[in-house]
Structure 1
Amino acid sequence: MTEQLGPTEWGTSVGVGPWDGPWPAGEHWDPELLEHGDRRNVVDHYRYWRRDAIVADLDMRRHEFHVAIENFQHDHNIGTVVRTANAFAAAAVHIVGRRRWNRRGAMVTDRYQHVHHQPTPADLRAFATERGLAVVAVDNSPGAQPVERTALPRRCVLLFGQEGPGLSDASRAEADLVVSIAQFGSTRSVNAGVAAGIVMHGWIREHADPDAAW
């Protein structure tokens, strides 16, 4: 029985080499990639596509949730959050606080993901209110609703604090809903990047169409 490879698996090599045979027609194809090969971190559907064509196609697939993460101490988890948001086709990611953030963990997925800067939690709140988005803060604090038992709004901003201090009081005050992640061990909290992935996937399980996944 031949093992079937997934949408981002290529056996022993990463990516694909130069296009074999006559080049395909279409403006979304990148001549340089067709000639030299495509080693980017993209699913096979987008192999040899121009970057702007990929973004345009993703814009037709993106979901109705946004992701926001605080960046008051240059949190190294932000890159991981951006990469996960890209994997789940979030509408956009919002960096709250400092504009500069560590992109290493994003694995260049930020090139295909809309990333915005919000100077303060109040600015994020204003953005959400203008677009009819509920702000759902994720924090293991007293009064938080268990995310495992709470319906997430379809149109929302999932807001996460940074590693260490967690969600700021200012962000918690701006939230329409605060949810927590059930834990059963000795640690006080899970990694911020992990928490973001858990809650994003919770939204996907509740609102997305699995048949539309790669």
Structure 2
Amino acid sequence: MIVNNLEQGFFGIGIQNGKTPENLGVLWRSAQNMGASFIYTIGNRYAKQACDTHKAVGAMPYFHYETFKDFYKHLPKSAMLVGVELTKNAENLEQFTHPRRCVYLLGAEDHGLSNEAIEKAHFLVKFQSTLSLNVSVAGSIIMYDRNSKATFST
């Protein structure tokens, strides 16, 4: 069997200025289970995560960036940045076609994504929720949706 990695695509997921290490650990655990290629943080950095019981940080690459600008200049070539944010301009996740090669970015629960991240995102997505959700729950929903649709835009 011949495997074409460009055809398969990839995705990474991370948090900008995460609030608690527990949220990060749960997101990492979900990322490993949902097939993420890498995980990352921007701003706040946490070392060991008690909630990362599957030790995802040892199973896939973990990147840390001090600022959004530093992260953005290291965005993988041909990857689309998908911001997850509850805004009027965001596309509903239910109708969203995930890019084949993308990086998902979630903001902290209390502040959301920075204005710079919102402006630079190729796509903004949201899903039906009256209030904001726990960031690791939101990330898990995004990854589940990606996997369940298994149809990607180029």
Question: Where on the TM-score scale, by shorter chain, does this alignment land: which range?
Answer: 0.7 to 0.9
The one of 126, 133, 139 aligned to 1:180: 126
Which structure is higher in strand share?
Answer: 2
Partner amino acid, structure 2, of 1:188 = L
SS at match of 1:104: coil
- Correspondence for 1:203 among 114, 124, 146: 146
Distance 1:73 1:202 in 2: 24
Q: CA deviation at 1:72?
A: 5.2
Verify the 8 A CA contact 2:18 2:24 in the aligned structure 1: no
TM-score, normalization by structure 1? 0.61
1:83 matched to which residue of 2? 29
Equivalent residue of 1:135, what SS?
strand
Q: Tell me what 2:61 maps to.
A: 114
Change in CA separation of 1:109 and 1:75 when aligned onto 2, cut-off 3 Å: closer
- Percent identity, aligned pairs only, is 26
Mapped partners of 2:112, 2:48: distance in 1? 18
C-alpha separation in 1, matches of 2:43 and 2:86: 21
Whole-angstrom distance in 2 between the partners of 1:206 and 1:170: 29
Show the counterpart of 2:3.
Answer: none
1:170 equivalent in structure 2: 116
TM-score normalised according to structure 2 size? 0.83
Q: Residue 97 of structure 1 aligns to which amino acid in structure 2?
A: G
Q: Deviations over 1:1-30 (max 9, x none)?
A: xxxxxxxxxxxxxxxxxxxxxxxxxxxxxx
RMSD (CA atoms)? 2.0
Q: How is 1:1-214 mapped onto 2 (pairs within 5 angstroms)?
A: 64-71=10-17, 73-101=19-47, 103-107=49-53, 108-128=55-75, 130-183=76-129, 187-207=130-150
Q: CA deviation at 1:106?
A: 1.3
CA contact (8 A) 1:94 1:116 kept: yes
**Aligned length in residues:** 143
Q: CA deviation at 1:156?
A: 0.2
- Name the CA distance, whole Å, in 2 between partners of 1:101 and 1:198: 24
1:199 deviation in Å?
0.4
Structure 2: gaps (5+ residues): 1-7
Structure 1 residue matching 2:37: 3-state secondary structure: coil
**Runs of 4+ deviating beyond 6 Å:** none
Answer whether contact 1:134 1:156 (CA < 8 A) is retained: yes
Work out whether residues 109 and 132 of structure 2, in 8 Å CA contact, stay in contact via their aligned partners in 1: no
- C-alpha displacement of 1:143: 0.7
One-letter amino acid of the counterpart of residue 124, structure 2: V
Instruction: Render the CA deviation track for 1:63-117: whole Å, top value 9, x for unaligned.
Output: 6011121135445311111111111121100111123356111112322121111
Change (3 A) 1:195 1:202: same
Is residue 71–residue 162 contact of structure 1 (8 Å, CA) maintained in 2? yes
Q: Distance in 2 between matches of 1:199 and 1:103?
A: 21
Distance 1:92 1:201 in 2: 16
